[in-house]
Amino acid sequence: MSGSSGRHIWFLHTHGTLRLEDEVRLAVLWGARGLGAFALGVFFILASQQGVPRSVLQEQWEPTVQFAALGIVAVGYGVAWRWEGIGGAIILVGSVLLGVLASLAFEPGVALFGCLAFFVPGALFILYWQHHHRPVTLVGVISFMLALLAVGGVAAGKVYDRYAGPTHPNSTAERIRVDLAEWILSGAVTMEGFTVKARLADPGNGAVELLVAPADGTGGVKVVGAQAGPSPDGHVVTFRAEGLRPGTRYTYALRRSEHIDERRRGEVTTLPSGPSSFTLAFSSCARVGSNGEVFDRIREADPLLYLITGDFHYQNISANDPGAIRSAYDRSLATPGQQALYLQTPIVYTWDDHDFGGDGSDRTTPAREAAQAVYREYIPHYDLPAGAESGPIYQAFTVGRVRFIVTDGRSERDPAGDADGIGKSMLGQVQKDWFKAEVLAARESAALIVWVNSVPWIAQPEPGADHWGAYATERQELSDFLVASGVDNLVMLSGDAHMLAADDGSNNTFASDGSGPGFPVFHAAALDRPGGVKGGPYSEGAFPGGGQFGLLTITDVGGLAVTVTFSGRDWEGTEVVGYSFTTSRRGPG
End-to-end CA distance of the chain: 109
Q: How far apart are CA 405 and CA 397, in angstroms?
A: 7
Q: How far apart are CA 394 and CA 438, in angstroms?
A: 11
Residue 12 predicted with pLDDT over 80: no
**Burial of residue 504, with CB atoms counted within 10 A of its CB: 0-12 exposed, 13-18 middle, 19 or more buried:** middle
pLDDT band at 5 (very low <50, low <70, confident <90, very high): very low
Nearest one of 388, 407, 411, 375 to 187, comparing CA atoms:
375
Residue 340 predicted with pLDDT over 90: yes
Do 465 and 329 reside in the same domain of the chain? Answer: yes
CA-to-CA separations, 421 to 50, 418, 435, 471, 517, in angstroms, rounded = 24, 9, 20, 8, 20
Residue 16 predicted with pLDDT over 50: no
Pick the range with the lowest mean pLDDT from 78-92, 229-243, 272-286, 499-513: 229-243
Tell me what pLDDT residue 585 has: 65
Q: How far apart are CA 213 and CA 196, in angstroms?
A: 14
Residue 17 predicted with pLDDT over 80: no
Residue 122 predicted with pLDDT over 50: yes
Query: For the chain, what is the mean pLDDT?
Result: 91
Q: Are strands 448-452 and 278-283 parallel, antiparallel or unpaired?
A: unpaired
Residue 6 predicted with pLDDT over 50: no
Pick the range with the lowest mean pLDDT from 259-263, 536-540, 558-562: 558-562
DSSP secondary structure code for residue 341 in this structure: H
- What is the domain-level CATH number for residue 308? 3.60.21.70
Q: How far apart are CA 325 and CA 229, in angstroms?
A: 17
Residue 11 predicted with pLDDT over 60: no
Q: How far apart are CA 481 and CA 475, in angstroms?
A: 10
**Partner residues linked to 568 by β-bridges:** 550, 577
- Is 309 inside any structural domain? yes
Q: Which of 80-89, 228-237, 365-374 has the highest mean pLDDT?
A: 365-374
Residue 13 predicted with pLDDT over 60: no
252-286 burial code (b ≥16 CB/10 A, e <16): bbbbbeeebbeebebebbbbbeebbebbbbbbbbb
- Is 369 inside any structural domain? yes
Residue that terminates a domain, selected from 143, 164, 185: 164
- Is 445 inside any structural domain? yes
Q: Are 378 and 197 spatial neighbours (Cβ–Cβ below 8 Å)? A: yes
User: Cα-flanking dihedrals φ and ψ of residue 544, to 5°?
Assistant: -70, 150
User: Cα-flanking dihedrals φ and ψ of residue 484, to 5°?
Assistant: -65, -30
Residue 216 predicted with pLDDT over 90: yes
Tell me what pLDDT residue 113 has: 76
Interacting residues of 111 by C-beta distance below 8 A, sequence separation 6+? 53, 99, 100, 101, 102, 103, 105, 156, 160
Do 435 and 558 reside in the same domain of the chain? Answer: yes
Q: Are 454 and 350 spatial neighbours (Cβ–Cβ below 8 Å)? A: yes
Report residue 454 CA to chain centroid gap: 11
Q: How far apart are CA 144 and CA 190, in angstroms?
A: 64
Q: How far apart are CA 68 and CA 119, in angstroms?
A: 17
Provide the strand spans (E) within 439-532: 448-452, 490-494, 499-503, 521-523
521-538 average pLDDT score: 95
Q: How far apart are CA 345 and CA 350, in angstroms?
A: 16
Tell me what pLDDT residue 371 has: 98
> Each residue of 364-422: pLDDT tens digit?
999 999 999 999 999 999 999 999 989 999 999 999 999 999 999 999 999 999 999 99
Tell me what pLDDT residue 111 has: 78
Tell me what pLDDT residue 559 has: 84
> Each residue of 319-333: pLDDT tens digit?
999 999 999 999 999
> Each residue of 264-308: pLDDT tens digit?
999 999 999 999 999 999 999 999 999 999 999 999 999 999 999
Interacting residues of 6 by C-beta distance below 8 A, sequence separation 6+? none
Do 447 and 573 reside in the same domain of the chain? Answer: yes
- Is 517 inside any structural domain? yes
Say how many domains are in the chain.
2
For helices 61-80 and 84-102, what crossing angle results, to 10°? 160
Q: How far apart are CA 149 and CA 167, in angstroms?
A: 27
Which secondary-structure segment (H or E) carries 497?
Answer: none
- Is 203 inside any structural domain? no
Nearest one of 187, 166, 37 to 530, comparing CA atoms:
166
- Is 454 inside any structural domain? yes
Do 157 and 305 reside in the same domain of the chain? Answer: no
> Each residue of 22-63: pLDDT tens digit?
787 788 889 889 998 998 888 888 888 777 887 766 678 888
Q: How far apart are CA 127 and CA 16, in angstroms?
A: 9
Pick the range with the lowest mean pLDDT from 77-86, 153-162, 342-351, 501-510: 153-162
Do 458 and 317 reside in the same domain of the chain? Answer: yes
- Percent of the chain's residues with pLDDT above 70: 94
Residue that terminates a domain, selected from 122, 147, 164: 164
> Each residue of 442-500: pLDDT tens digit?
998 999 999 999 999 999 999 999 999 999 999 999 999 999 999 999 999 999 999 99
Tell me what pLDDT residue 300 has: 98
Residue 139 predicted with pLDDT over 90: no
142-156 average pLDDT score: 86
Backbone Cα Rg of the chain:
29
Residue that terminates a domain, selected from 119, 140, 164: 164
Which structural domain range is residue 88 located in? Answer: 3-164
Tell me what pLDDT residue 57 has: 66
Tell me what pLDDT residue 15 has: 45
Residue 144 predicted with pLDDT over 80: yes
- Is 248 inside any structural domain? no
Provide the strand spans (E) within 373-525: 395-399, 402-406, 448-452, 490-494, 499-503, 521-523
- Is 213 inside any structural domain? no
Q: Are 461 and 421 spatial neighbours (Cβ–Cβ below 8 Å)? A: no
Interacting residues of 114 by C-beta distance below 8 A, sequence separation 6+? 98, 99, 102, 106
The secondary structure of 277-304 as a DSSP string is: -EEEEEE--B-TT--BTHHHHHHHT--S
3-state helix, strand, coil in the chain (%, to 5): 35, 20, 45
Tell me what pLDDT residue 1 has: 40
Interacting residues of 142 by C-beta distance below 8 A, sequence separation 6+? none
Tell me what pLDDT residue 33 has: 92
- Percent of the chain's residues with pLDDT above 90: 70
Nearest one of 501, 500, 525, 110 to 316, comparing CA atoms:
110
